[in-house]
């Protein structure tokens, strides 16, 4: 019986992307990656990496070193109890400097070659499988192979789809939200395919369409209107609202951080000190020394808050 799979891009999806990775020591898992993969595996999915590696064609890394890089990735995951079932990569690029790899290839995303090869090798049911990535070429490859797609829109690497590219089925701020999307999708699909055994339920069952065949309905907001119908101000407001939504979702699926909590508390104290200094300035006695002391406290505490925020960002 064919199995379901989740096809995963590598860089900026599972590991941090400092550029072209050419040393195993550069491999760093994105926070929460192992936990997410464990959860997806529990849901019954095969986990398969499909990655463009034009660095081989460009002479930046050899296939031998690339194998060590992938060994390091699998080792880091194994240390946290996670496992990838198979890794596929495309070393070709039409502008490569290594003659052996200077070629266009059906394996290279946005073409679906790697996904189709994996499906043949591992007996994968593509219509019930997923493609997770952070770029337009990932989404196009997944769509071409017949998978449901999720675009990761991480604020740290703000990627945008090219105008003629197909839109993803779903969008997520990180891999933690990806798990929630897939869980809800599977839950809804199960409800559709297994309604109550009543006559009404049977009638409803005949009306159901598998969720992976449904197209996302357009939202009734400014982003769906023709550009000619939207003024510059409206577009700007819409972009601001969209960014706020992304930030809220990122907060929802981010881990608790003590350094971030401390930074918030210290920031509140800074504001309190500033209010006290303003109150002292407006006081009839105008206690200059007290105002200076309060401002010094505010400055020191503000430096502390910035330090905590920097520590959180480097975590």
Rg (CA), the chain: 25
How much is the mean pLDDT over the chain?
81
Please report which residue ranges of 255-315 form alpha helices under DSSP H: 258-282, 288-313
pLDDT at 146: 96
pLDDT at 205 over 60: no
Contact indicator for 14, 40 with CB cutoff of 8 Å: no
**DSSP-assigned letter for residue 102:** B
Tell me, yes or no, if 9 is annotated catalytic: yes
pLDDT at 208: 35
pLDDT in tens, 215-226: 333 444 444 444
Mean pLDDT across 237-254: 56
Which of 18, 10, 15, 17 shows the shortest CA–CA distance to 28? 15
pLDDT in tens, 98-131: 999 999 999 999 999 999 999 999 999 999 999 9
pLDDT at 165: 67
Measured CA to CA, the distance from residue 142 to residue 180 in angstroms comes to 19
Choice among 9, 17, 138, 169 that is catalytic: 9
CA angle 62, 121, 108 (to 5 degrees): 45
Which band of pLDDT confidence, cut at 50, 70 and 90, is reported for residue 229?
very low
The CA distances from residue 152 to 26, 134, 138, 214, 249, in Å, are: 22, 5, 10, 20, 12
pLDDT in tens, 28-41: 999 999 999 999 99
In terms of pLDDT, which residue wins out, 166 or 20?
20
pLDDT in tens, 59-96: 999 999 999 999 999 999 999 999 999 999 999 999 99
Tell me, yes or no, if 220 is annotated catalytic: no
pLDDT at 219: 40
Mean pLDDT across 16-36: 94
One-character DSSP codes across 25-66: GG--BPTTHHHHHHHHHHTT-EEEEEEE-HHHHTTSS-HHHH
Lowest mean pLDDT: which of 12-21, 43-52, 155-164?
155-164
pLDDT at 211: 37
Choice among 11, 17, 134, 138 that is catalytic: 11
Please report which residue ranges of the chain form alpha helices under DSSP H: 33-42, 54-57, 63-79, 113-122, 136-145, 175-193, 199-207, 232-252, 258-282, 288-313
């Amino acid at each position: 019986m064919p199995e379901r799979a989740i096809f995963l891009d590598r860089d900026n999806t599972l590991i941090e992307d400092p550029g072209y990775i050419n040393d195993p020591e550069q491999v760093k898992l994105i926070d929460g990656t192992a936990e997410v993969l464990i959860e997806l595996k529990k849901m019954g999915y095969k986990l398969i990496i499909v990655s463009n590696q034009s660095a081989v064609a460009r002479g930046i890394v050899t296939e031998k070193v690339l194998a060590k890089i992938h060994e390091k990735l699998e080792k880091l995951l194994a240390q946290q109890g996670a496992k990838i079932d198979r890794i596929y990569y495309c070393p070709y690029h039409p502008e490569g400097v290594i003659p052996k790899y200077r070629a266009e290839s059906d394996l290279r995303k946005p073409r679906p070659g790697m996904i189709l090869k994996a499906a043949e090798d591992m007996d994968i049911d593509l219509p019930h499988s997923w493609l997770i990535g952070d770029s337009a070429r990932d989404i196009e490859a997944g769509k071409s192979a017949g998978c449901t797609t999720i675009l990761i829109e991480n604020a740290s690497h703000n990627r945008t789809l090219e105008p003629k590219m197909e839109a993803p089925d779903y969008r997520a701020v990180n891999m933690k939200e990806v798990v929630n999307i897939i869980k809800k999708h599977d839950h809804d699909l199960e409800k559709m395919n297994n309604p109550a055994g009543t006559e009404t339920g049977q009638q409803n069952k005949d009306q159901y369409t598998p969720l992976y065949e449904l197209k996302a309905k357009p939202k009734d907001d400014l982003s769906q209107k023709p550009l000619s119908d939207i003024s510059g101000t409206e577009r700007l407001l819409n972009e601001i609202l969209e960014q706020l939504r992304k930030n809220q979702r990122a907060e929802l699926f981010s881990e608790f951080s003590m350094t971030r909590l401390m930074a918030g508390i210290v920031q509140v104290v800074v504001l309190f000190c500033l209010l006290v200094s303003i109150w002292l300035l407006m006081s009839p006695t105008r206690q200059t020394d007290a105002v200076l002391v309060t401002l010094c406290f505010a400055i020191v505490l503000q430096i502390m808050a910035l330090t905590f925020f920097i520590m959180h960002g480097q975590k």
